Amino acid sequence: MKTNLTKAKLRAGETVHGAFFRTPDTSLIELQGFLGWDFLVLDGEHGTLQPRDIEDQARACELRGLTAIARVTHNDAPTILRFMDTGAQGAHIPFINTADDAERAVQSIKYHPRGQRGLAGIRAAEFGRGAPLSEYVQQANAETLVVAQIETGQAIERLPEIVKVDGVDVVFIGPNDLAHSLGHAGNIGHADVQAAMQRIADIVLASDKVLGLMVYDSVGARLWRERGARYITVPFESVLCPAVKHYLQDARG
Protein backbone atom coordinates (compact mmCIF):
# COMPACT_ATOMS: atom_id res chain seq x y z
CA MET A 1 0.00 0.00 0.00
CA LYS A 2 1.30 3.43 -0.94
CA THR A 3 2.21 6.02 1.67
CA ASN A 4 -0.73 8.24 2.53
CA LEU A 5 0.86 11.61 1.74
CA THR A 6 -2.04 13.56 3.24
CA LYS A 7 -1.78 11.69 6.53
CA ALA A 8 1.98 12.18 6.54
CA LYS A 9 1.55 15.94 6.11
CA LEU A 10 -0.99 16.08 8.92
CA ARG A 11 1.37 14.17 11.20
CA ALA A 12 4.06 16.72 10.35
CA GLY A 13 1.78 19.55 11.45
CA GLU A 14 0.98 20.78 7.96
CA THR A 15 -2.35 21.97 6.58
CA VAL A 16 -3.87 20.05 3.68
CA HIS A 17 -6.44 21.11 1.10
CA GLY A 18 -8.88 18.94 -0.80
CA ALA A 19 -12.04 19.04 -2.88
CA PHE A 20 -15.25 17.02 -2.92
CA PHE A 21 -16.22 15.35 -6.20
CA ARG A 22 -19.60 13.78 -6.87
CA THR A 23 -19.28 12.80 -10.52
CA PRO A 24 -17.59 9.65 -11.85
CA ASP A 25 -15.35 11.23 -14.51
CA THR A 26 -11.81 9.90 -14.10
CA SER A 27 -10.10 12.31 -16.49
CA LEU A 28 -11.38 15.26 -14.48
CA ILE A 29 -10.05 13.60 -11.35
CA GLU A 30 -6.63 12.98 -12.94
CA LEU A 31 -6.49 16.60 -14.10
CA GLN A 32 -6.75 17.75 -10.48
CA GLY A 33 -3.36 16.19 -9.83
CA PHE A 34 -1.76 18.95 -11.89
CA LEU A 35 -3.47 21.69 -9.87
CA GLY A 36 -2.02 21.25 -6.39
CA TRP A 37 -4.69 19.54 -4.28
CA ASP A 38 -3.42 17.28 -1.51
CA PHE A 39 -6.44 14.98 -1.57
CA LEU A 40 -9.85 14.48 -3.15
CA VAL A 41 -12.97 13.31 -1.34
CA LEU A 42 -14.86 10.98 -3.67
CA ASP A 43 -18.41 11.51 -2.53
CA GLY A 44 -20.50 8.37 -2.37
CA GLU A 45 -22.95 9.93 0.09
CA HIS A 46 -24.31 12.95 -1.76
CA GLY A 47 -23.63 11.80 -5.30
CA THR A 48 -24.11 8.86 -7.61
CA LEU A 49 -20.68 7.35 -7.01
CA GLN A 50 -20.57 3.62 -6.39
CA PRO A 51 -17.54 1.62 -5.19
CA ARG A 52 -16.78 0.71 -8.82
CA ASP A 53 -16.57 4.43 -9.73
CA ILE A 54 -14.38 5.19 -6.75
CA GLU A 55 -12.03 2.35 -7.64
CA ASP A 56 -11.39 3.95 -11.04
CA GLN A 57 -11.09 7.40 -9.50
CA ALA A 58 -8.61 6.09 -6.94
CA ARG A 59 -6.46 4.87 -9.84
CA ALA A 60 -6.60 8.34 -11.39
CA CYS A 61 -5.61 9.92 -8.07
CA GLU A 62 -2.63 7.59 -7.72
CA LEU A 63 -1.34 8.54 -11.17
CA ARG A 64 -0.79 12.11 -9.98
CA GLY A 65 0.05 11.68 -6.31
CA LEU A 66 -3.34 12.64 -4.88
CA THR A 67 -4.76 10.95 -1.80
CA ALA A 68 -8.14 9.38 -2.57
CA ILE A 69 -10.61 9.57 0.33
CA ALA A 70 -14.05 7.97 0.02
CA ARG A 71 -17.13 9.47 1.61
CA VAL A 72 -19.33 6.50 2.42
CA THR A 73 -23.09 6.41 2.57
CA HIS A 74 -23.42 5.43 6.22
CA ASN A 75 -21.54 4.03 9.20
CA ASP A 76 -21.98 0.35 8.38
CA ALA A 77 -19.14 -2.18 8.26
CA PRO A 78 -20.13 -3.98 5.01
CA THR A 79 -20.64 -0.63 3.26
CA ILE A 80 -17.34 0.81 4.47
CA LEU A 81 -15.57 -2.40 3.47
CA ARG A 82 -16.68 -2.07 -0.16
CA PHE A 83 -15.55 1.56 -0.36
CA MET A 84 -12.20 0.91 1.31
CA ASP A 85 -11.41 -2.15 -0.82
CA THR A 86 -11.34 0.12 -3.90
CA GLY A 87 -7.94 1.45 -2.87
CA ALA A 88 -9.14 4.63 -1.18
CA GLN A 89 -6.69 5.60 1.54
CA GLY A 90 -9.29 6.76 3.99
CA ALA A 91 -12.95 7.45 4.54
CA HIS A 92 -15.31 10.17 5.66
CA ILE A 93 -17.91 8.60 7.94
CA PRO A 94 -21.12 10.65 8.23
CA PHE A 95 -23.17 11.37 11.34
CA ILE A 96 -20.76 10.34 14.07
CA ASN A 97 -22.92 11.20 17.08
CA THR A 98 -21.33 9.18 19.88
CA ALA A 99 -18.05 7.58 20.87
CA ASP A 100 -19.60 4.22 20.00
CA ASP A 101 -20.27 5.50 16.47
CA ALA A 102 -16.65 6.59 16.19
CA GLU A 103 -15.38 3.25 17.50
CA ARG A 104 -17.55 1.39 15.00
CA ALA A 105 -16.14 3.51 12.17
CA VAL A 106 -12.55 2.85 13.19
CA GLN A 107 -13.16 -0.88 13.49
CA SER A 108 -14.74 -0.93 10.02
CA ILE A 109 -11.73 0.80 8.43
CA LYS A 110 -8.93 -0.95 10.32
CA TYR A 111 -7.87 -4.57 10.21
CA HIS A 112 -7.16 -6.80 13.23
CA PRO A 113 -5.98 -6.17 15.91
CA ARG A 114 -7.44 -2.62 15.94
CA GLY A 115 -10.45 -3.37 13.81
CA GLN A 116 -12.60 -6.00 12.21
CA ARG A 117 -12.38 -5.17 8.52
CA GLY A 118 -12.61 -8.22 6.29
CA LEU A 119 -9.43 -9.18 4.46
CA ALA A 120 -9.13 -10.30 0.84
CA GLY A 121 -6.79 -9.94 -2.11
CA ILE A 122 -8.59 -6.88 -3.44
CA ARG A 123 -7.25 -3.82 -5.26
CA ALA A 124 -6.31 -2.06 -2.02
CA ALA A 125 -4.04 -5.04 -1.30
CA GLU A 126 -2.63 -5.04 -4.85
CA PHE A 127 -4.87 -8.02 -5.59
CA GLY A 128 -2.76 -10.09 -3.24
CA ARG A 129 0.18 -9.91 -5.70
CA GLY A 130 2.29 -7.33 -3.92
CA ALA A 131 3.48 -7.56 -0.36
CA PRO A 132 2.21 -10.50 1.71
CA LEU A 133 -1.20 -9.86 3.21
CA SER A 134 0.38 -9.88 6.67
CA GLU A 135 2.46 -6.84 5.66
CA TYR A 136 -0.42 -5.18 3.85
CA VAL A 137 -2.59 -5.32 6.99
CA GLN A 138 0.05 -3.50 9.01
CA GLN A 139 0.56 -0.90 6.29
CA ALA A 140 -3.16 -0.33 5.83
CA ASN A 141 -3.72 0.14 9.54
CA ALA A 142 -0.95 2.75 9.61
CA GLU A 143 -1.85 4.58 6.39
CA THR A 144 -5.64 4.74 6.30
CA LEU A 145 -7.19 8.04 7.38
CA VAL A 146 -10.35 8.04 9.51
CA VAL A 147 -12.47 11.19 9.24
CA ALA A 148 -15.39 11.48 11.66
CA GLN A 149 -18.06 13.90 10.49
CA ILE A 150 -19.75 15.95 13.23
CA GLU A 151 -23.10 17.11 11.91
CA THR A 152 -25.63 17.31 14.74
CA GLY A 153 -26.25 18.98 18.07
CA GLN A 154 -26.13 15.55 19.69
CA ALA A 155 -22.63 15.01 18.33
CA ILE A 156 -21.43 18.26 19.87
CA GLU A 157 -22.65 17.18 23.29
CA ARG A 158 -20.79 13.87 22.95
CA LEU A 159 -17.69 15.33 21.30
CA PRO A 160 -15.47 15.23 24.42
CA GLU A 161 -15.88 11.42 24.35
CA ILE A 162 -15.64 11.15 20.57
CA VAL A 163 -12.21 12.82 20.45
CA LYS A 164 -10.85 10.21 22.84
CA VAL A 165 -11.46 7.34 20.41
CA ASP A 166 -8.15 5.90 19.25
CA GLY A 167 -7.81 5.71 15.48
CA VAL A 168 -9.89 8.77 14.56
CA ASP A 169 -7.54 11.13 12.74
CA VAL A 170 -9.74 14.04 11.72
CA VAL A 171 -12.86 15.45 13.33
CA PHE A 172 -14.73 17.13 10.51
CA ILE A 173 -17.42 19.78 10.79
CA GLY A 174 -20.22 19.23 8.29
CA PRO A 175 -21.72 22.74 8.27
CA ASN A 176 -24.85 22.11 6.18
CA ASP A 177 -26.20 19.23 8.21
CA LEU A 178 -25.10 20.91 11.42
CA ALA A 179 -27.11 24.02 10.54
CA HIS A 180 -30.06 21.81 9.61
CA SER A 181 -29.81 19.93 12.92
CA LEU A 182 -29.83 23.21 14.83
CA GLY A 183 -32.97 24.42 13.08
CA HIS A 184 -31.25 26.80 10.66
CA ALA A 185 -31.26 24.85 7.37
CA GLY A 186 -29.31 26.65 4.67
CA ASN A 187 -28.09 29.35 7.08
CA ILE A 188 -24.55 28.42 8.05
CA GLY A 189 -23.88 32.03 8.94
CA HIS A 190 -26.47 32.06 11.71
CA ALA A 191 -25.00 32.99 15.07
CA ASP A 192 -26.11 29.71 16.64
CA VAL A 193 -24.41 27.69 13.90
CA GLN A 194 -21.22 29.71 14.05
CA ALA A 195 -21.12 29.34 17.82
CA ALA A 196 -21.60 25.58 17.49
CA MET A 197 -18.79 25.36 14.94
CA GLN A 198 -16.48 27.28 17.25
CA ARG A 199 -17.41 25.01 20.14
CA ILE A 200 -16.49 21.99 18.03
CA ALA A 201 -13.21 23.63 17.09
CA ASP A 202 -12.34 24.40 20.71
CA ILE A 203 -12.91 20.79 21.78
CA VAL A 204 -11.01 19.29 18.86
CA LEU A 205 -8.06 21.66 19.10
CA ALA A 206 -7.68 20.76 22.78
CA SER A 207 -7.35 17.08 21.79
CA ASP A 208 -4.87 15.14 19.67
CA LYS A 209 -7.23 15.10 16.66
CA VAL A 210 -6.99 17.27 13.56
CA LEU A 211 -9.77 19.79 12.98
CA GLY A 212 -11.31 19.59 9.53
CA LEU A 213 -14.27 21.18 7.82
CA MET A 214 -15.88 22.15 4.55
CA VAL A 215 -15.59 25.75 3.37
CA TYR A 216 -16.99 27.38 0.26
CA ASP A 217 -14.30 29.82 -0.82
CA SER A 218 -10.71 30.81 -0.16
CA VAL A 219 -11.78 33.42 2.39
CA GLY A 220 -13.36 30.68 4.49
CA ALA A 221 -10.29 28.51 4.03
CA ARG A 222 -7.97 31.22 5.33
CA LEU A 223 -10.30 32.07 8.21
CA TRP A 224 -10.50 28.49 9.44
CA ARG A 225 -6.80 27.86 8.92
CA GLU A 226 -6.20 30.80 11.26
CA ARG A 227 -8.63 29.18 13.71
CA GLY A 228 -6.60 25.98 13.69
CA ALA A 229 -8.18 23.79 11.01
CA ARG A 230 -5.63 21.72 9.10
CA TYR A 231 -7.87 19.50 6.93
CA ILE A 232 -9.73 21.95 4.72
CA THR A 233 -12.11 20.97 1.93
CA VAL A 234 -14.30 22.70 -0.61
CA PRO A 235 -16.97 21.40 -2.98
CA PHE A 236 -15.48 21.42 -6.47
CA GLU A 237 -18.56 23.26 -7.71
CA SER A 238 -17.76 26.13 -5.34
CA VAL A 239 -14.45 26.61 -7.15
CA LEU A 240 -15.72 25.88 -10.66
CA CYS A 241 -18.86 28.03 -10.77
CA PRO A 242 -17.30 31.37 -9.72
CA ALA A 243 -14.44 30.80 -12.16
CA VAL A 244 -16.83 30.17 -15.06
CA LYS A 245 -19.01 33.16 -14.15
CA HIS A 246 -15.96 35.42 -13.88
CA TYR A 247 -14.69 34.24 -17.25
CA LEU A 248 -18.01 34.81 -19.02
CA GLN A 249 -18.56 38.21 -17.47
CA ASP A 250 -15.04 39.27 -18.39
CA ALA A 251 -15.18 37.78 -21.90
CA ARG A 252 -18.54 39.38 -22.68
CA GLY A 253 -17.39 42.72 -21.32
The mean pLDDT values, 10 residues at a time, for the chain of 253 residues are: 94 98 95 97 94 97 96 97 97 98 98 96 90 94 98 97 98 96 96 97 98 97 98 97 96 93
Whether 228 and 201 have beta carbons less than 8 Å apart is answered as yes
User: For the chain, which residues make up each domain, given as ranges?
Assistant: 5-252
Whether 151 and 174 have beta carbons less than 8 Å apart is answered as yes
Which stretch of DSSP H or E encloses residue 77?
helix 77-84
Residue 118 region by backbone torsions, left for phi larger than 0, else alpha for psi between -120 and 50, else beta: beta
Q: Is 92 a catalytic residue?
A: no
Question: Which of 46, 74, 112, 246 is the catalytic position?
Answer: 46
What is the CATH number assigned to the segment(s) 5-252? Answer: 3.20.20.60
Eight-state DSSP code of residue 38: S
Whether 175 and 184 have beta carbons less than 8 Å apart is answered as no
Write down the pTM of the prediction.
Answer: 0.95
Q: Which residues contact 34 (CB under 8 A, 6 or more apart)?
A: 64
Residue % of the chain over a pLDDT of 90: 96
> C-alpha angle with apex 234: 244 to 79, nearest 5 degrees?
120
Eight-state DSSP code of residue 126: G
Residue 2: the pLDDT is: 84
CA distance 42 to 93: 12
User: In 3D, which of 253, 232, 235 has the Cα closest to residue 17?
Assistant: 232
Residue 130: the pLDDT is: 86
